[in-house]
Amino acid sequence: MREQFREKEEQYNKEVEMKQQLELLATVGAELRSVKNNLDQFQEAQDRHAEAVRCIETSKDHVQKLEVENAKLKVTVKKQARKIEQLQENLLSTSSKKKFIELKKSLECSLDQEMKKIGELEKEITSAFFRDEIQKGAVEVEILEEEECIHPEGLEDLRKTQVSPPETDYFKSAPPTLKLYLQLETPSIRLSNYRKYTTWTFHQIQHIQKKTWSSLLPPLSSLHPIKSYSFFMSNLNASVQPGNI
């Protein structure tokens, strides 16, 4: 009996020990599975991290390439901007030269025409011929006025009998319409009116000169305002001096 009991006890102990070992194995297996899962997760995380690092490196390389390309593009843009500015300056200088040449030709042409007109009128007015005759006419007017005060009856008879004026030099050189008008006047009135005519002609010349220089001032001012204004005033003052007639 004792031997049977001992055998059963030993068998029971073996079973308990085996059961404990099985439980231990189960616990160890569970821990191993947990460790394996953790390792798998760590590996996945490590792989993701490595992939992220690769992406970052790739992005850095791409950014560096973009920065290099951007720098090259900036240099190209600056060069193109300089070329565009040079082309614009060339176009402006070319067009300005053309405009200046055209303006110069136009001004020279209009100036020549106006100076010819002024020259013709000045020749008519400023000739020594007219100056002498105007001075002679002034003397004759004074003499006739004195004689008219002294002998009014004799001059009245002279006016009635004198149909045509004397053929003086200034009368011969006068325009046809002026001659016809002078023939109807007395010598004193005729000389006085002729002086008025020459004075009126002189004022017409002044008007033409002012108009000519005034029309030339705006285009000249676009080239050099101060010089053109000084040039305008000096020529205008010189051209309208009374001593020029």
Note whether residue 118 is domain-resident. Answer: no
Into how many domains does the chain fold? Answer: 1
> Which residues constitute the domain of residue 191?
127-244
Q: Residue with structure tokens 């790739």?
A: 58
- Token pair recorded at residue 71: 């720098």
Angle between helices 128-150 and 152-161 (to 10 degrees): 130
What is the spatial distance between Cα 117 and Cα 209, in angstroms, rounded to a whole number?
10
Residue 238 has which token pair?
């010189």
Contact between 217 and 228 under an 8 Å Cβ cutoff? The reply is yes
Helices and strands (H and E) in the chain: how many: 7, 0
- Asked if the structure places residue 134 within a domain, the reply is yes
Q: Is residue 36 part of a domain?
A: no
Does 121 fall in a domain? Answer: no
Q: What is the pTM of this model?
A: 0.30
Contact between residue 216 and residue 110 where contact means Cβ atoms under 8 Å apart: yes
For every one of its 245 residues, what pLDDT tens digit does the chain have, with 9 covering 90 and above? 677 777 777 788 888 888 888 888 888 888 889 998 989 999 988 898 989 888 888 888 888 888 888 888 889 888 888 888 888 787 777 767 777 778 778 877 877 787 787 677 666 655 555 555 556 655 655 665 565 555 445 445 544 444 444 444 545 555 554 555 455 445 555 556 556 666 666 666 666 666 665 665 555 455 444 444 454 445 545 444 444 44
| Alpha-carbon span 213 to 145, nearest angstrom | 42
Decide if 17 is inside a domain: no
Contact 244, 202 (CB under 8 A): no
